[in-house]
Amino acid sequence: MSELLTKKTRKTIINRLIKDKIALSGLIILVLLYLSILFAGFLSPYPKDYSNRHLSYAPPSKIFTIDRNGKLSRPYTYNYIRKFNPETFKIEYKPDRSKKYYLKFFSDGFSYKFLGIIPTRLHFVTVDKPGELFLTGTDINGRDNFSRLLYGGQISLTIGFLALFISYPIGALYGGISGYFGGRTDNIMMRVAETIMCIPGFYLLISLAAILPANISSTQRFTLITVILSFIGWAGLSRVIRGMVLSIKSQEFVEAARSIGAGKLRIILKHILPQTASYVIVAMTLNVPGYILAESGLSFLGLGIQQPDASWGNMLKEAQEYFNIINRPWLLTPGFLIFIAVLAFNLVGDAIRDILDPRSKVR
């Protein structure tokens, strides 16, 4: 019977999400974002470590579909010529119209591993050498921002789920044990959780990230940030789960499990905690944006993922200068993607919360 209810609930969630246009828009955005980072090697014209230092801060490549005679043409672009303007003392880029470079779709390019496993060279769009294609411009080192956005998203969009997969099982089990046993055990465990909740999370992250050795790899730093986020994220969930368990443990199906001799841990894991699944799903959906913002904030401050590895946070760091914001607006693209991803998660999370708990709606 519980399996049937689970299937019904799942079907209800899907149907309601499809009918809610706002939530459906958020869900579509999230699907597109995660598909993009999953197929980053295929979609990106260049590998994440490619750079052309002669094209530092080059603007986005202009794509033309009409030739000089006004006729429809295959999409093409021009390379940029870099010049110094002695009057404005600025570096300027102008298209070199002496040669066209036609865009090639589904053609060979730089080698990469498809899904990190299968070696391949197939790319969605490229241009013949020495042509260069920068869909969202370049950074200070002449690296293609579009390619780095895709690879950087693999870190920024996955760190939240990795942290949740660590913190939520801990929080759910901790709260379940505390609520089920009650009494002195409950008091001690909740005081520990409240102590952890009192720790200012972002400042703890800054402090711990600042004392990390400077020579550790970005993979190690990414792992440590995930663990830190998980360490400070489970306590709040455990308090809510504990409150739910206090009311669930007195219900008849729990008494029936006790009467047939089921162990305490088995009752908690198999009979009580599954009843809190609705809340956990909603909380996970709504908390992912917080982890994304935490990683982006750390990387923006230079304490998270380090260059040359990309994340949306450390890419956005280049846009903190007023001159870059005014003259190189393409550097703000990572911030726009962070905003879109966080907004989409919140839209989907709010919709799921309203579906699973109609009383949460503001009447």
Among the listed residues 26, 18, 10, 36, the one whose alpha carbon sits nearest the alpha carbon of residue 156: 36
DSSP 8-state code for residue 172: H
Domain ranges of the chain: 2-37+157-360, 49-144
Which amino acid does the sequence have at 35? L
Distances (CA, A) of 216 to 125, 141, 224, 241: 35, 22, 10, 37
User: Is 245:319 a contact under the CB 8 Å cutoff?
Assistant: no
* pLDDT of amino acid 5: 42
pTM, two decimals, is: 0.82
φ/ψ bin of 305: left (φ > 0), alpha (ψ from -120 to 50), beta (otherwise): beta
* pLDDT of amino acid 2: 40
DSSP, residue by residue, 287-335: HHHHHHHHHHHHHHTTSSSPTTS--HHHHHGGGGSHHHHHH-GGGGHHH
* Cα–Cα dist 56/58, whole Å: 6
Judged by DSSP in three states, 228 sits in helix
- Inter-residue long-range contacts of 215-222, CB under 8 Å, 24+ positions, other chains counted: 218/305, 218/306, 218/309, 221/304, 221/305, 221/306, 222/155, 222/159, 222/305
Q: pLDDT tens string for the chain (363 positions)?
A: 344 345 666 677 778 778 888 889 999 999 999 999 999 889 999 988 888 888 899 999 999 998 888 888 899 999 999 988 888 778 889 999 889 999 999 888 788 776 666 778 888 999 988 889 999 999 988 999 999 999 999 888 888 788 888 888 888 899 999 988 888 988 999 999 888 888 776 677 677 766 777 677 777 777 777 777 777 778 888 888 888 888 888 888 888 888 888 888 888 888 888 888 777 887 888 788 888 887 787 777 777 777 888 888 888 888 888 888 888 899 999 999 999 999 999 888 888 877 776 555 544
* pLDDT of amino acid 85: 82
* pLDDT of amino acid 358: 52
The CB-side HSE value for 257 (13 A sphere, CA atoms) comes to: 18
In this structure, is the dihedral angle defined by the CA atoms of residues 50, 318, 37 and 107, taken in order, positive or negative? negative
* Cα–Cα dist 315/332, whole Å: 9
Question: Does the domain made of 2-37+157-360 have the CATH classification 1.20.140.10?
Answer: no
